[in-house]
């Protein structure tokens, strides 16, 4: 299916899976190696990743969805930023991770309560980081 898309000259950027919890998963399409989709025993297999059909809300090939885009978490949630601290409502966080701009995961000090997640960036070097909440992402610059 994906090889056909590439050979027809469609300028698709990615295959996008939307899970029932709203999480979007992207598989880049390029002139290099493309993902391989298989359907097997009630599951969808993409490369080595396995998804239950019941967990997938929909999937599509997209020309517009950019897997490298950063969603603006500040406009969607009540996120507070002060100095090198970011406070995110706990219900907006599924799985918090922090990455360097080139995609390497870094460890940060995180405080969790029932209502909020506080991310402390004090120990990080100056630079641009991406905070992924599992539902959306926030790009921050530490000066």
pLDDT 10s digits, 63-109: 776 555 545 555 556 778 777 888 888 887 888 888 887 778 899 99
pLDDT 10s digits, 9-28: 445 577 888 888 777 777 77
Q: What pLDDT band is residue 5 in, cutting at 50, 70 and 90?
A: very low
**Is 77 within a domain?**
yes
Assign residue 103 the CATH number of its domain. 2.60.40
Domain count, the chain: 2
Residue from 141, 101, 140, 94 nearest 117 by CA: 94
**Is 67 within a domain?**
no
**Is 7 within a domain?**
yes
**Is 68 within a domain?**
no
Instruction: Give me the domain span that covers residue 54.
Output: 2-62
């Amino acid at each position: 299916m994906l090889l056909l898309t590439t050979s027809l000259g469609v300028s698709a950027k990615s295959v996008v899976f939307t899970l029932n919890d709203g999480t979007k998963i992207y598989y880049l399409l390029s002139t290099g190696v493309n993902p391989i989709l298989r359907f097997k025993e009630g599951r969808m297999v993409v490369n080595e990743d396995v998804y239950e059909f019941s967990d997938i809300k929909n999937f599509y090939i997209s020309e517009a969805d950019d897997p490298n885009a950063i969603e603006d978490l500040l406009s969607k949630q009540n996120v507070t930023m002060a100095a090198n601290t970011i406070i995110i409502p706990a219900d907006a966080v599924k799985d918090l991770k922090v990455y360097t701009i080139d995609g390497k995961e870094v460890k940060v000090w995180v405080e969790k309560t029932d209502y909020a997640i506080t991310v402390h960036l004090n120990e990080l070097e100056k630079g641009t980081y991406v905070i992924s909440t599992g539902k959306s992402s926030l790009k921050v610059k530490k000066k």
